[in-house]
Amino acid sequence: MSTAELHWKSGLEIAALVRGKALSPVEVTEALLARIDALNPRLNAFCLVCADVASAAAKEAEIAVMKGEPLGPLHGVPFSAKDILYTRGIRTTGGSRLFADLIPEHDTISVLRLRAGRAVLLGKTNTSEFGHKAMTDNPMFGVTKNPWNLDLTPGGSSGGAAAAVASGLGPLALGTDGGGSVRIPAAFCGIYGFKPSYGRVPQYPGFPGWERLSHVGPITRTVRDAAAMLDVIGGTDDRDRESLPGPGGSYLAACENDVRGLHVAWTPDLGYARVDPAVLAVCEDAAAEFDALGCHVEVVNPGWENPEDAFATIVAAQFWAAWGGQIATAEKQMDETLAKFVQRGEAVTARDYLAAWATVEAFWQEVRTFLERFDLLLSPTVAVPPFAAPGRPPRDVAGARVSVLGWMPFTYPFNLTGQPVASVPAGVTEDGLPVGLQIVGQRHADATVLAASAGWEAIRPWSERRPTL
């Protein structure tokens, strides 16, 4: 097998070859480390490559195969972890100069479970500082580039993870999503991103902020790879008292479920968003194709109020609680936008914070009632195509001025509700930039979202569409 072929193998393909002794974990790890060495200087997807740790883990995985030991579903498969996620014995900075020397004593639970199953950690991927914005740059490691156009952002804050996967620097990546940070970069990089139900993947230990909003989720080139990752990293852990028990079945097996007869709602704007015409055209075409899966598709206007103010209030207050005490001495070390955001949180009163959560509760009741009629809700993932990096997000969309989060109006609402949501590649714009379609499920219906994603992948496969680097 050629080295070029190894770069683009899915995680499940690698696992099957390793189990059959047709591929050595050492061989695939060495091939990917070499590709990272060649391409990462241009992409800046990885902020830390732990070659020695990866090589040692690959050798241990190979020895286990040769000894005939029981093998996990992702045994010997390389993966990366966003630099927000704690990694035992490996530097974890959160993209912040404040933690430039932090070496955690424990893995985040999702990382621990993958490493315990003998998946091979390649390194840490770049993020915005503490994941505070949906782009990927920080004062410590700089700007991550979109592999489809190096002048553009891959989105964020899991942009390093998405750029790595899209570029063949590893088949599996762990990201975090507090307001769209898995789905936005998946959409901008033309790959698959899955935000599980809140609590589906335990979160401990880690940096403060994003309480009750953040989800750990997979970023992959195929739906089944994401499902296989969820089988490994999902399930309750008492260290996270909000974690959910397993569903009693395999998420990978759920990808085979028949989606014919599902009732699917398509909304171009959630009733309040502005959408770039090029994005809208691609997503409308994609949503119509769900008829080909045997789904009943209906165009809807949910009529919801935009929850942006409540979301921004909650996050600002949490960031002030986490980092406000350090502003006086550390502001100059922080990303300018993070410092301003933290300072905004100082003005949020307890009454404001509780009122924002009351707004979220009312919003959830609207969403819940609406989805009693539908199994899935489709929308664009992001309202705009990838834009320039470094820089600021667009404030004008489809000829109108929008709010600060007006370019990403479809993602953060479902961090507030905690529902499972995926972004699948919907197609490309006329100038070849990826566009994502968002698939929202009912509460705890992770398996249904994965099944619909797999069905879409079957009729509109995307894994052979690769950036030229």
Q: Taking the C-alpha atoms of 265, 268, 272 and 276 in order, what is their torsion angle to the nearest 10 degrees?
A: 160
CA distance 115 to 149: 33
| Structure tokens, 121 | 């950690």
Tokens 């091939």 identify what position? 31
CA distances from 431 to 152, 153, 163, 380, 468 (A): 13, 15, 19, 18, 14
Where do the H-state alpha helices sit in 190-302? Answer: 223-233, 251-254, 277-288
CA distances from 112 to 13, 107, 116, 275, 439 (A): 22, 5, 6, 39, 28
Provide the angle, in degrees to the nearest 10, between the axes of the packed helices 109-116 and 223-233: 100
Where do the H-state alpha helices sit in 418-461? Answer: 446-459
Could you tell me which of 177, 403, 62, 455 has the C-alpha nearest to residue 297? 455
DSSP bridge pairs for 75 = none
CA distance 399 to 378: 24
Residue 78 backbone class (left: φ over 0; alpha: ψ -120 to 50; beta: rest):
beta
CA distance 382 to 468: 23
DSSP-derived secondary structure letter, 245: P
Could you tell me which of 222, 169, 276 has the C-alpha nearest to residue 425? 222
Tokens 């901008």 identify what position? 188
For the annotated catalytic residues, the residue numbers are: 82, 157, 181
Residue 210 backbone class (left: φ over 0; alpha: ψ -120 to 50; beta: rest):
left
DSSP bridge pairs for 138 = 142
Q: 3-state DSSP call for residue 302?
A: coil
Provide the angle, in degrees to the nearest 10, between the axes of the packed helices 159-166 and 25-43: 120
